[in-house]
Amino acid sequence: MSQKVVAIIQARMGSTRLPGKSLMPLAGKPLVYRVLERIIPSKNIDQIVLAIPNTTENQVLSEIAHELGVSVFAGSEDDLVDRYYRAAEKFNAQFVVRIPADNPTPQSSEIDKIIDHHLGLGTVGFSSNLAEVFGSRYPDGIGAEIFDFELLQESWKKESNPNKREHVHLNFFDYGTQIPVDSDWCPISTVQCPKEFARPDVILDVNTPQQYRYMAQLYEDLYRENPRFSIQDIIAWHDKLKLFQKPTEG
């Protein structure tokens, strides 16, 4: 049986909260470039696919992917379950790794860790260290989700709820409530975050102008010194920034 692990990164130009964020610069390169750049060193991913909407305005994203040697799939703009399913089917994935393209600081070692964990379980299910799961204490945005293709296929066939069609993870697990959809059908698993960066208060998504400004400053301060800066570097930078932002007494 094939054990092909395919990472599918969802990106689009038409974000409602922050339009065009995929092209916003981080240390001189588009945000989506930085995301892909940090995923490429992963040792456990067999193929990386940038999954974009099949519209003219999104073709610029495919050019960035090709620059980095990353495969591209163009599909539905709003039906992410369909986009993921068809991309996974095209590239013969047995396991799908999901990484949103608005998380500009994925860490390949943590992505590899959750893949190793999931493959080691030997059972069909959903595993994640993308954000905190069951008290794992992960920062939001450095890891990934991994789930079996057959679960994605079943969701693609049966689910009609528009919200679940748009948000793939909601077919398996809700991070907000920490409630699995169906633990018998799809067991949920995670790994404990290492103590040195167990910081669920740190949010490394880019969905708002404020979050983009934060990320742009992070990249300006860290990338030029070390292009492969780690989550430990981010935590140290984050805490120093917060210290300087505290109002002075008097």
Q: How confident is the model at residue 132 (pLDDT cuts 50, 70, 90)?
A: very high
For residue 121, is it within any domain? yes
**What is the number of domains present in the chain?**
1
For residue 56, is it within any domain? yes
pLDDT at 246 over 60: no
Domain that holds residue 70: 5-245
For residue 239, is it within any domain? yes
- DSSP letter string over the chain? ----EEEEEE--S--SSSTTGGGSEETTEEHHHHHHHHHTT-SS-SEEEEEEESSGGGHHHHHHHHHTT-EEEEE-SS-HHHHHHHHHHHTT-SEEEEEETT-----HHHHHHHHHHHHHH-SS-EEE-SS--TT----BTSS-EEEEHHHHHHHHHH---HHHHH-GGGGTEETTTTEES-TTTS-EE--PPPGGG--TT-B----SHHHHHHHHHHHHHHTTT-TT--HHHHHHHHHHHHHHHSPPP-
For residue 250, is it within any domain? no
For residue 234, is it within any domain? yes
Q: What is the pLDDT of residues 71-83, one digit of tens each?
A: 999 999 999 999 9
Q: What is the pLDDT of residues 222-236, one digit of tens each?
A: 999 999 999 999 999
For residue 38, is it within any domain? yes
Domain harbouring 216, CATH code: 3.90.550.10
For residue 60, is it within any domain? yes
For residue 194, is it within any domain? yes
Q: What is the pLDDT of residues 5-48, one digit of tens each?
A: 999 999 999 887 898 999 999 999 999 999 999 999 999 999 99
